[in-house]
A and B are shown apart, each in its own frame.
Chain A
Amino acid sequence: MRVDLTDSLSRLLPGEAFGHSVPSSLWAVLRTGVETVVAPGSTEEVATLLKWASEMGVRVVPIGTGAHMCPRYPRDPFIVLTTSRLKEIQHYEPADLTMTASAGASIRDLSTETAIYGQWLPFDPPDVPNRTLGGLVATGLSGPLWAGYGQLRNHVLGATIVCGDGRALRLGGKVVKNVAGFDILKLMVGSRGELAVITSVTVRLFPLPVVDQLLVLEATDVSELVSTARAVATAPIMPASIILSGTSDGGRLLVRLHGAKVSVEADQKSLEKHTGVSFEVRNTPEAESLLVHKRDSRINAELAVRVWALPSRIGVLLDVLKKVPGVSLNADVYGGSVRAYLPVNLSDIESSLAGLQKDIEELGGTIRALRIPAEVNASSYFAKPLVDEGELAAGLKRAFDPHAVLWGIE
């Protein structure tokens, strides 16, 4: 980092904020550009840093663990702001089922605490235990459990944020129903670090289900399971999640039922009656490991896309995606999305992606890159920066980050 900048910043923040690093995976993607990694220890320190950055014209990329990789990063030199020193649980009232914790707290640590009181955060995006609370909220991902519990955005009750220009704001509150003013809190869920740095979050928790039962159906080809999966999604009961996976080894339908023992058993019967099939039952811990495997087994995939369409189109989406040799598919049948992990030795990644995009858009769907090897020219598959997302998004970007200091890495 340029000496004068380092000097001026080190005078503003305590020594503990410096000397940090980010995972080597992130460095690999970001390659050059990173001036320094700063770990503020409080909302005030985040505000100091961002005010300074606004004045100096320095860009800041906020990260949790920095595990989320994407080749789109600022060209100018920038600072990485890590929430690794913001980890504490600030407030937990089990009887209210609400918790406030700092943004850098890991979901694993929070879950350990809530499990003591028989409560949890019912969200299961990939790699969820390793995510930070701030990163989870910034990406907004709920995972397939949104079928039974609703999306993360509906359960974020409050947050403390620091806008790009260093203004600290306290949004929402600690109560489950709150309509006191315009809901700018909602805007932060899924804002990908582009509007503000989230420093703490209040979430609504749920009682852990008494029984967490997994129903499994297997077939040699995922397409054979589509009609059953859709029948489950339109059955008179609502499962906690409905996942359909397909690899060259065959297909699997996973239906998760939550509730008391008697009601879970009754739900299974009613699903079997409705679909005309009988499921295999897996109980914890076998069910757990199967679900975690499905969720995270491709943790190091270098080529992954997410496809989205109306839930009723899941079958045709799978038909298109299945054609890619060596593909591995994971669908959220309720949400209407499919994660496709493609082999990197695919002969021509660019034209394969272009072909997929064409077919999927014809079906009324969208395709979006999650991970793409750096050498592939694929910027059009990544989410656009907010300034290019239309007038409203661009206007909101200017309102919260007037000097365009913040740069989310997604």
Chain B
Amino acid sequence: MASLLTGKVSSGMTQPLPSSVASDLAEIVGHEHVITDPDRLLVYESDGLTAYRRSPRAVVLPSSTEEISAVVGLLHSNGIEVIPRGAGTGLSGGALATPEGVIVGTARMNRILKIDVENRIAIAQPGVINARLTEATNPYGLYYAPDPSSQSTCTLGGNVAENSGGPHCLKYGVTARYVTGLTVVLAGGRIVELGGVGRDPYTTLDLVGLFVGSEGCFGIATEIELRLLPITEGVRTLLGIFESVESAGRAVTKIIASGLMPAAVEIVDGPTIEAVEASVFAAGYPLEAGAALVIEFDGTEAGLDLDADRAEQCCLEEGAIEVQRATDPEHRMKLWRARKKAFGAMGRIAPDLLVQDATVPRTKLPEVLAGIDNIGNRYGLKIANVFHAGDGNLHPNILFDRQNQNELELVERASKEIMQLCVDAGGTITGEHGVGVDKREYMTLVHGPAELEAMAAAKRVFDPASLFNPGKVLPAVEVKEANESRSN
């Protein structure tokens, strides 16, 4: 099993790529876009979850659907596994190379192909950075809603593969809601178009919906059709300061249950506030605060103050020490700062950070947060929570030091207990970061053998020989069974 303890994936050494394959690849994409030099491959050794590292056999950087199709066709006909990769900001090891695999990166596929203002859709290549789509569509009064906190670096292809969320997905929904059509390259290099605005969505299966969130295991998305939204007229941002994270959690439940529809509700807990205030990102949060709640409303200007008043009332009723309201865009940025800079700030107080991800029913937030606190105390680990509270999507971040072997083991045990706690509360093991290699073994906490086999069967329909991103998502035993059933 892959393990944080070893810092490496245990099984298998990377195989060098046969030179004939390398030269055939160069023929397709150009010599400079096939990387085999070990030094240059270092960058591709891991994604955002750096605990897992392995150098790929090679990295290929095609520039079009046709090139991807030719590259995949060539690699697959040689029995070589393909690992799709966007910006490598993933937090579950999804883009980690396999010993036999070649990474197909989308860095050169960074063009927005079409902005259709009339129909409010855009068609983009997968390597386009998330935030760029919003920048490009802003002049037309439009924007792209899903806003992962990594949006200034992560790619739309990665977002599709992970079905990524973000703070404002509370009101607007996650990536899947916005993907209306896909061009995908499947096993052997076959190009297939799925869905598309203007096509009757009720005449066949929702293959777009199935592809979204498939973590690079079904094929490569090479063109992505996305729905855009009109820029909202106004915004109100509140910051509620609480004594404890539990009371902040209760305020979240109260706000949502009151019928309000905030655009975002994010929690930053005490340890995170401490870290941020000690850093260059200090936002002036009171140090004694147990938690802060960032609440945002957007929409028609006229209704916003009313909404903000009601949310403020909910906070006060749940014991908020104070509630601030942003008075101008700069002030708004300041209120958001602790949330947005949390990861950076934590990096300064501990050498390593494990960003966990799980979802629980919103009403269970207070008890689950108390449970996480308890787990941290029991293992003597510092856990800082900063997360999408309105969705019940937790990010307990465990601070540790990789050099300390003892602590590493505790981190793994604590992680597993946190997952179990969330599942027992009626939740799940990942809300947005995906399973990748990291959570494969946790899949059995939420799925039985029949469900896992059904997922394996869906993968076999797209990728019968398991040549796309093998060893991800499904637990090892399931993959073994799938292989057996294939050879039968």
- A interface residues, Cβ below 8 angstroms from B: 93-98, 118, 139-141, 150-151, 153-154, 163, 167-171, 173-184, 186-187, 189-191, 195, 206-208, 210, 230, 234-238, 259-260, 262-263, 265-267, 270, 306, 308-313, 336-337, 364-366, 368, 383-384, 386, 389-390, 392-393, 395-396, 399-400
Contacts and interface: CB of A to CB of B under 8 A. Distances in A.
Given A95-B256, A178-B428, A393-B205, A336 B197 contact: yes
Chain B CB within 10 Å — which of A171, A208, A260 has the most? A260
Chain A CB within 10 Å — which of B141, B169, B359 has the most? B359
B6 to A, nearest CB: 25
A180 B428 contact: yes
Contacts of A189: 206, 209
Nearest to B433: A179
A202 B443 CA distance: 20
B455 A182 contact: yes
Nearest to A235: B230
Contact of B458 (A96, A187, A260, A383): A187
Given A182-B458, A187-B458, A262-B302, A207 B261 contact: yes
A180 B430 contact: yes
Contacts of A236: 141, 230-231, 233
12 contacts: A95-B256, A95-B362, A178-B431, A180-B447, A181-B452, A183-B212, A183-B214, A238-B230, A266-B302, A310-B198, A336-B119, A368-B202
B303 interface: yes
B454 interface: yes
Given A174-B361, A308-B200, A366-B203, A392 B209 contact: no
B180 to A, nearest CB: 10
A237 B209 CA distance: 27
Chain B CB within 10 Å — which of A170, A181, A366 has the most? A181
B451 A389 contact: no
Given A154-B176, A180-B435, A182-B473, A187 B205 contact: yes
A262 B303 contact: yes
A270 B300 contact: yes
Contact of A177 (B165, B443, B446, B462): B165
Interface residues of B, number: 88
A235 B232 CA distance: 11
Contacts of A392: 192, 205, 207, 461-462
A259 B206 contact: no
A247 B292 CA distance: 56
B359 A178 contact: yes
A187 B209 contact: yes
B303 A263 contact: yes
Contacts of B163: 179, 183
A183 B435 CA distance: 12
B455 A97 contact: no
Contacts of B363: 93, 95-96
A232 to B, nearest CB: 12
Contacts of A97: 256-257
A234 B117 CA distance: 8
Contact of A176 (B359, B452, B455, B460): B359
Contact of A183 (B205, B213, B462, B474): B213
A175 B392 CA distance: 8
A179 B302 contact: no
Nearest to A194: B205
A173 B428 CA distance: 8
Contact of B473 (A181, A184, A310): A181
- 9 closest A-B pairs by beta carbon, nearest first, are A263-B303, A186-B209, A266-B302, A395-B461, A207-B259, A177-B431, A310-B198, A308-B200, A399-B457
A187 B210 contact: yes
B125 to A, nearest CB: 21
Interface in B434-488: 434-435, 439, 443, 446-448, 450-452, 454-455, 457-462, 473-474
Contacts of B198: 308-311, 313, 336, 364-365
A143 B427 CA distance: 30
A364 B359 CA distance: 42
Interface in B192-231: 192, 197-207, 209-210, 212-214, 217-218, 229-231
Nearest to B390: A176
Contact of A260 (B201, B213, B307): B307
Contacts of A259: 299-300, 303
B458 A191 contact: no
A180 to B, nearest CB: 5
B431 A150 contact: no
Nearest to B233: A236
Nearest to B388: A177
B391 interface: yes
A182 B210 contact: yes
Contacts of B48: none
Interface in B227-261: 229-231, 233, 253, 256-257, 259-261
B173 interface: yes
A207 B120 CA distance: 26
A356 B292 CA distance: 60
B330 interface: no
B415 interface: no
A181 B119 contact: no
A170 B201 contact: no
B392 A396 contact: no
Chain B CB within 10 Å — which of A189, A195, A384, A396 has the most? A396
B438 to A, nearest CB: 12
Nearest to A311: B119
Contact of A96 (B362, B452, B459): B362
B458 A190 contact: no
Given A179-B163, A238-B230, 6 more contacts: A93-B363, A183-B210, A184-B454, A234-B117, A270-B233, A392-B462
Contacts of B192: 392
A190 B359 contact: no
B84 to A, nearest CB: 15
A240 to B, nearest CB: 12
Contacts of A178: 359, 428, 430-431
B447 to A, nearest CB: 6
A139 B301 CA distance: 37
A176 B217 CA distance: 23
A383 B300 contact: no
Given A177-B165, A181-B455, A189-B209, A234 B118 contact: yes
Contacts of B300: 237, 259, 263, 266-267, 270
B210 A179 contact: no
B461 A399 contact: yes
B229 A238 contact: yes
A396 B206 CA distance: 11
Contacts of B461: 392, 395-396, 399
Contacts of B299: 259, 263
Contacts of B209: 153, 183, 186-187, 189
Contact of A262 (B174, B210, B306, B443): B306
A315 B428 CA distance: 46
A154 B165 CA distance: 13
Contacts of B117: 234
B233 A399 contact: no
A386 B205 contact: yes
Nearest to B440: A181
Contacts of B119: 310-312, 336
Contacts of A395: 460-461
A396 B199 contact: no
Interface in B289-317: 299-304, 306-307
